[in-house]
């Protein structure tokens, strides 16, 4: 039987749960997919457990009708949204209350027993799951949002919190059985504190998500700036663009072979693409010189690591890339430029760039010098190993990178440059999980 006169006893409990439901329904949180979450679920479950299905459904509907007016939404009218809330807030307390009543009648459980506490926990979890499912179905109908995506983004992150709440609600039910209404009021106060902590957790998660989205937007903006700079150099000198692509790929392969994590591999790849961006300041006389360069021109060339680092350092989040660019012409023996760093003073990723840079300059057909054979280039790398270049990284490059496959280059067209640039673009345009627009239907939690 869904309702008897005894179901509404004591009237004080009905009134208390109604008032608590109204207050809890005013406590609004926002889930990670911007779905509105309110704090009334524990109240509705307690009503279902202590009073039965009909009073629980009545309290749920009454609480809904006390909500502030619904804002206008592009997906549904305020009247339709209110009707959805009435149906949902009435349905799941009714269903859960009927289930609890049926189990309790069949098992004849004492409301102070451990098994009764287990029943309350199960009832709470079932009410939560049913509530989330009904809201997801409703939003699918009125706004076309995928049900599974809604459950994954809203129900799953709150599952552990719901489990903890279910234990608290079971404890409140036990205290009510032992000490009546005063225990109920005191326990609900403790539950309110817990719900507040849950809200702060949700807000922290949302702030973290917002930060990731801002970082994604910044990365896309930075990529646009980088692409413009690289294209400007490429337009003046195809060789520099092709060489930068080769260095990026070689250096990334060295990093992978040396055991660097994915973050460092992405870092050295970006630095490899940008390591010669300082050549943007070269005059045409330097770019197109076919003869001996003057001392002044050589000084200009030697400044390109500093100029490149200065350009890149202005892009937020690219400080480490700038440091690598600044040091890519330093030498292990301390005779490099611009700062005369030696050995471990040189960033390891910059040392990888140096190995890749040296090899490509020697072997590329479009190099400033006559290209040498692969074997001759390897011999030269080993000759300068430990003086100009990091000996360990030279051997990794020779034995693990050049001995493998997948690092060959065309040496003369735009294909390699565009392929490497596309890797950076894909990383900068990687989207976080799609965020649904705000849900107008309230979700009890």
Q: In this model, does residue 166 exceed pLDDT 50?
A: yes
Give me the number of domains the chain comprises.
2
| The predicted structure's pLDDT at residue 278 | 85
| The predicted structure's pLDDT at residue 434 | 37
Model confidence at 1, in pLDDT bands (50, 70, 90)? very low
Lowest mean per-residue pLDDT among 43-47, 344-348, 385-389: 43-47
| The predicted structure's pLDDT at residue 438 | 38
Residue 422 lies in a domain: no
Residue 9's domain is classified under what CATH number? 1.10.1760
pLDDT in tens, 338-356: 999 999 999 999 999 999 9
Residue 425 lies in a domain: no
Strands 28-30, 439-444: pairing kind: unpaired
Q: In this model, does residue 103 exceed pLDDT 50?
A: yes
Asked if residues 239 and 367 have their Cβ atoms less than 8 Å apart, the reply is yes
Q: Are residues 197 and 274 in the same domain?
A: no
Asked if residues 38 and 24 have their Cβ atoms less than 8 Å apart, the reply is yes
| The predicted structure's pLDDT at residue 192 | 66
10 preceded by a cis bond (ω within 30 of 0): yes
Looking at the DSSP assignment, which residues form a beta bridge with residue 36? 30
Q: Are residues 153 and 270 in the same domain?
A: no
Q: In what order do the strands lie in the sheet with 35-38?
A: 28-30, 35-38, 439-444
Between CA 398 and CA 153 the distance in angstroms is 47
Q: Are residues 185 and 83 in the same domain?
A: yes
Residue 371 lies in a domain: yes
| The predicted structure's pLDDT at residue 265 | 94
DSSP per-residue string spanning 108-171: T--TTSHHHHHHHHHHHHHHHHHHHHHHHHHHHHHH---HHHHIIIIIGGGHHHHHHHHHHHHH
Q: In this model, does residue 169 exceed pLDDT 80?
A: yes
Model confidence at 441, in pLDDT bands (50, 70, 90)? very low
| The predicted structure's pLDDT at residue 422 | 64
Return the DSSP state at 346: S
Q: Are residues 301 and 182 in the same domain?
A: no
Residue 141 lies in a domain: yes
Lowest mean per-residue pLDDT among 69-83, 100-114, 160-174, 340-354: 69-83
pLDDT in tens, 234-270: 666 667 778 888 899 999 999 999 999 999 999 999 8
Residue 232 lies in a domain: no
Q: Are residues 201 and 255 in the same domain?
A: no
Residue 249 lies in a domain: yes
Lowest mean per-residue pLDDT among 55-59, 98-102, 203-207: 203-207
Model confidence at 408, in pLDDT bands (50, 70, 90)? low
Between CA 408 and CA 401 the distance in angstroms is 10
Q: In this model, does residue 407 exceed pLDDT 60?
A: no
Model confidence at 110, in pLDDT bands (50, 70, 90)? confident
- In degrees rounded to 5, what are phi and psi of residue 215? -65, -40
pLDDT in tens, 184-242: 666 666 666 656 666 666 666 667 767 777 766 766 676 677 777 777 766 666 677 78
Beta-carbon contacts of 203 under 8 Å, excluding residues fewer than 6 positions away, are 29, 30
Q: Are residues 81 and 210 in the same domain?
A: yes
Q: Are residues 275 and 337 in the same domain?
A: yes
Q: Are residues 171 and 246 in the same domain?
A: no
Q: In this model, does residue 383 exceed pLDDT 90?
A: yes
Which residue has better confidence, 428 or 326? 326
Q: Are residues 112 and 166 in the same domain?
A: yes
Residue 219 lies in a domain: no
Model confidence at 170, in pLDDT bands (50, 70, 90)? confident
Q: Are residues 121 and 259 in the same domain?
A: no
Between CA 154 and CA 366 the distance in angstroms is 56
Q: Are residues 178 and 129 in the same domain?
A: yes
Q: Are residues 199 and 256 in the same domain?
A: no
Range of the domain at 295: 237-413
Residue 426 lies in a domain: no
Residue 382's domain is classified under what CATH number? 1.10.3210.10
């Amino acid at each position: 039987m869904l309702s008897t006169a005894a179901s509404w006893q004591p009237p004080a409990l009905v009134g208390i749960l109604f008032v608590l439901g109204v207050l809890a329904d005013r406590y609004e949180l926002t889930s990670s997919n911007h779905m509105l979450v309110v704090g009334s679920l524990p109240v509705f479950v307690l009503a279902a457990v202590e009073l039965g299905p009909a009073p629980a459904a009545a309290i749920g509907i009454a609480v809904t009708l006390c909500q502030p007016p619904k804002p206008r939404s592009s997906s549904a009218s305020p009247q339709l949204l209110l009707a959805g809330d009435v149906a949902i807030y009435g349905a799941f307390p009714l269903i859960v209350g009927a289930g609890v009543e049926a189990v309790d009648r069949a098992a004849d459980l004492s409301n102070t027993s451990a098994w009764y506490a287990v029943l309350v926990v199960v009832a709470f979890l079932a009410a939560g799951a049913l509530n989330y499912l009904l809201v997801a179905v409703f939003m699918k109908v009125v706004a076309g949002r995928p049900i599974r995506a809604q459950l994954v983004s809203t129900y799953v992150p709150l599952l552990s919190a719901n489990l903890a709440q279910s234990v608290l609600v079971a404890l409140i039910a036990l205290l009510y059985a032992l000490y009546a209404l005063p225990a109920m009021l005191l326990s609900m106060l403790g539950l309110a504190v817990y719900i507040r902590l849950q809200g702060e957790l949700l807000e922290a998660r949302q702030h973290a998500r917002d930060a990731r989205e801002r970082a994604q937007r910044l990365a896309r903006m930075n990529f646009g700036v980088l692409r413009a700079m690289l294209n400007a150099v490429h337009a003046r000198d195809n060789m520099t663009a092709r060489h930068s692509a080769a260095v990026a790929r070689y250096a990334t392969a060295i990093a992978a072979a040396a055991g660097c994590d994915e973050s460092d591999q992405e870092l050295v790849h970006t630095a490899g693409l940008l390591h010669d961006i300082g050549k943007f300041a070269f005059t045409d006389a330097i770019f197109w010189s076919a003869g001996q360069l003057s001392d002044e021109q050589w000084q200009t060339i030697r400044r390109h690591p500093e100029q490149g680092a200065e350009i890149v350092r202005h892009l937020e989040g690219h400080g480490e890339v700038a440091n690598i660019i600044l040091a890519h012409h330093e030498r292990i023996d301390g005779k490099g430029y611009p700062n005369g760093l030696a050995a471990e003073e040189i960033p390891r990723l910059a040392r990888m760039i140096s190995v890749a840079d040296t090899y490509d300059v020697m072997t590329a057909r479009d190099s400033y010098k006559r290209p040498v054979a692969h074997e001759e280039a390897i011999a030269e790398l080993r000759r300068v190993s430990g003086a100009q270049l990091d000996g360990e990284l030279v051997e990794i490059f020779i034995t693990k990178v050049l001995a493998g496959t997948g690092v060959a280059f065309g040496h003369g067209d735009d294909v390699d440059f565009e392929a490497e640039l596309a890797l950076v673009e894909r990383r900068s345009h990687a989207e976080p999980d799609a965020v649904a627009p705000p849900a107008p239907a309230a979700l009890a939690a």
